[in-house]
Structure 1
Amino acid sequence: MATTTAVSSDLTNTPMYAVRDYSDGFYVTLEDFINKKKTKLNPVERRAIVGFEKKLIPKDVIVDHIFLYTVADQMKLTGVFAVSLEGNLYIQQKNFRKYAVKGDKSEEGDNPNSYHRVLQAGKFLYLEAELANAWSKGFAYGTGGAVGGALGSSMNRLKGIAFDVVKKEFNVLKDCKDFNEFLTIYQAENVECKNKKIDIVTVRENINKIIK
């Protein structure tokens, strides 16, 4: 989120969103998503993020972070902003940075072509992802070797992400001060900051209070 002090706004006319508003299909671009303009869903299957083989995920298992593969040619799905599949809505990771609010442009994950499930919907869409500051990660990887690679990967931390569909912006809730600025926008009571970091449970609890 931007480092400037947030100012509360009039939420009277804030539109409400629901996952069910997006029927099964591909929403290729951000504009397609906003306008609910879908492209026919070619058969895709969910695959695990971890492991070399990227194993198939059973249909009855809910997973929040996945790869999507086309069934016909077993190719990883890329270049599609969002996918609605069997009652769940997934947004591609690289868009978190591409459409980030000012101040969050350096937040990135390790799998830009992966997809994250929308966990809650209402005044905004809420997701979670393991992200870190790209500059810090780049410095760690730059040390070279296995140690540098391990250090860079270990910097990722699970963070909440609020997608303001109207403003076309993803807001990474990366620390306590940042989260309080976000809460102020929605006229919610701030949380106590005992240190810079904020745990994901606290983020979830407060998102529950303001999203509907």
Structure 2
Amino acid sequence: MIVQRITLIILLFLSGLSFSQGQPLFESIGYPDGLYKTKEDFINKKPSEIRPLVIKEIALINDTDSVIHRCYFLDKETNKRIKKIFAVSYNGDLYFSNWAILKYKNKADKSLSPASSMNAFVLVTIWGEKYFYAEAGLVNHWQAGLSSGVAAGVGGIVGRELGEAIDNSYPVTTQFGTGVVWDIEAKEFNIFRNCQDFNHFIENYPVEQIDCGNEKFELTRIREIVQIIKD
């Protein structure tokens, strides 16, 4: 198990290094560039539309990585944001929209709102035959003491209010957000709301579960496990 974890850590490091240099570690995620407006278009790997886009990064606190993890997409001709579509494949990278994640999430993932905007997109960083993994900026608006309207409102919440909302909702949330997978077979998103929820998700896989009482629940550990089960 120790050797396996060391190997995975090395792979994740190389993957992160490759991304930071602007080159994907693997050939391609397999989705032609374009807009995927519906879930069906995405499943069939057929872009609904191809048009020139501009990517606008959402700056993350203490993030020095050159990779754009969260962003908006704008129509290059009109300068208007791309809204209410499932995904965008852009220069070989795949991005899911917050709108799609929340619309097509597992029914157990309740009371969630985006910390920024429904029209923001998040980068897929790990992918395989079973799962596509991303990290979205989501908050549980009841735990955070916010109404869903405030958390998901025009422009979202910002500054100290946003930071406190995320901290109150997910104490272990980093600037990269909350782990999310697109389940290819189930055709839905599964959001890892907490340690127990994640352990339930992986309980049928031959992997070591997280000791929720003693082990810190963090994204690094989630990435390691998803790397194992993605295929």
Q: Using the alignment, how far apart are the partners of 1:62 and 1:149 within structure 2? A: 22
Are 1:160 and 2:179 matched, yes or no?
yes
Deviations 1:131-167 (A, max 9, x none): 211223354769xxx9866643554632111111221
Q: Using the alignment, how far apart are the partners of 1:35 and 1:109 within structure 2? A: 27
- Superposed, which structure 2 residues align to 1:10-159 within 5 Å? 20-50=29-59, 61-110=66-115, 111-122=117-128, 123-139=130-146, 151-152=164-165, 154-155=167-168, 157=173, 158-159=177-178
Look up the match of 2:13.
Answer: none
Q: Using the alignment, how far apart are the partners of 2:209 and 2:162 within structure 1? A: 37
More relative contact order in 1 or in 2 (CA 8 Å, sep 6+)? 1
Q: Using the alignment, how far apart are the partners of 2:107 and 2:178 within structure 1? A: 17
Q: CA RMSD in A?
A: 2.7
Deviations 1:169-194 (A, max 9, x none): 11111211111111113342212222
Do the aligned residues in 2 keep the contact of 1:175 with 1:196 (CA within 8 Å)? no
Query: Structure 1 length normalisation: TM-score?
Result: 0.76
SS in 1 for 2:82: coil
Q: Amino acid of the residue matched to residue 167 of structure 1? A: A
Deviations 1:25-76 (A, max 9, x none): 111101111112212311001102249xxxxxxxxx4211111111101111
Do the aligned residues in 2 keep the contact of 1:47 with 1:68 (CA within 8 Å)? yes
Q: Amino acid of the residue matched to residue 121 of structure 2? A: Y
Alignment gaps of 5+ in structure 2 = 1-26, 61-65, 152-158
Look up the match of 1:9.
Answer: none
Q: Using the alignment, how far apart are the partners of 2:188 and 2:134 within structure 1? A: 13
Aligned residues: 183
Q: Percent identical across equivalent pairs? A: 31
Between 185-194 and 158-167, the greater mean CA deviation after superposition: 185-194
Shift of 1:86: 0.7
SS in 2 for 1:178: helix
Do the aligned residues in 1 keep the contact of 2:85 with 2:99 (CA within 8 Å)? no
SS in 2 for 1:135: coil
Q: Using the alignment, how far apart are the partners of 1:40 and 1:166 within structure 2? A: 25
Between 149-158 and 192-201, the greater mean CA deviation after superposition: 149-158
Q: Using the alignment, how far apart are the partners of 2:102 and 2:214 within structure 1? A: 25
| Alpha-carbon distance change, 180 to 78 in structure 1, aligned in 2, over 3 angstroms | same
Q: Amino acid of the residue matched to residue 171 of structure 1? A: N
Alignment gaps of 5+ in structure 1 = 1-17, 52-60
Are 1:170 and 2:189 matched, yes or no?
yes
Q: Using the alignment, how far apart are the partners of 1:97 and 1:121 within structure 2? A: 20
